[in-house]
Amino acid sequence: MTVYIEKANTSANTALGLFGKEPFVYDPKEDCYRCPAGEKLRYHFDREELGRKIRYYWTTACNTCQIKAQCTRSKEYRRISHWVHEDILERMEKRVKANWELMKQRKQIVEHPFGTIKFWNDQRHFLTRGLEKVKAEFSLSALAYNIKRAINLVGVAKLVAAVA
């Protein structure tokens, strides 16, 4: 059985029945998007948002476009935003779709330690605040999990002998 993950779509346009970003095809050679009507949305500016560099594209051809009503609610034009490293997400999405069974197995393997850590340590939430402190707290929990796991797999005598 093959199961595919659909990309989570958060576009307000899609929710209203308009074109989302999917029909707009990015051309990295020309650094532009091609819209469903065939027009090129050219790069205009970029800015940093939440630590990520975002590039913005649009065309002035929207005013005379036959399918503008299906594309945008704006009176002027449709603007597309593009994270400069968006290709990384697209490659990851292709790998996930191509190897769904492997991803399903990975989820099962990874979920067990987290569930075990939460159960063993009664750790439903972190006790510290701030990324660095939470990282340290989780690292200690993972270390304790790994030591307990090694004891269960190898035994205390072999583990002590290996450390000595």
Domain count, the chain: 2
- What pLDDT score was predicted for residue 117? 83
Listed residues 49, 74, 92: the one ending a domain: 92
Task: Report whether 57 contacts 44 (CB < 8 A).
Answer: yes
Let me know whether 41 and 73 are in one domain: yes
- What pLDDT score was predicted for residue 10? 55
Let me know whether 110 and 85 are in one domain: no
Listed residues 66, 92, 118: the one ending a domain: 92
Let me know whether 88 and 104 are in one domain: no
Let me know whether 41 and 78 are in one domain: yes
Output the tens digit of pLDDT for each of the chain's 164 residues.
444 344 455 567 777 778 888 888 888 898 899 999 889 999 999 999 988 999 999 988 888 888 888 888 888 888 888 888 888 988 988 988 898 888 888 888 888 888 888 887 777 788 899 999 999 999 998 898 898 888 999 999 988 888 88
Let me know whether 134 and 65 are in one domain: no
Task: Report whether 83 contacts 53 (CB < 8 A).
Answer: yes
Let me know whether 84 and 108 are in one domain: no
Task: Report whether 2 contacts 12 (CB < 8 A).
Answer: no
**Residue 150 forms part of a structural domain:** yes
Let me know whether 82 and 119 are in one domain: no
Spatial distance between the Cα atoms of 103 and 95, rounded to a whole number of angstroms = 9
Listed residues 76, 92, 108: the one ending a domain: 92
Let me know whether 87 and 138 are in one domain: no
Let me know whether 119 and 82 are in one domain: no
Phi, psi at 18, each rounded to 5°:
-95, 170
- By the 10 Å C-beta count (0-12 exposed, 13-18 middle, 19+ buried), 104 is classed as exposed
User: Terminal CA-to-CA distance of the chain, rounded, Å?
Assistant: 49
Q: Which long-range CB contacts under 8 A does 141-144 form with residues at least 24 apart?
A: 141/117, 142/113, 142/117, 144/117, 144/120
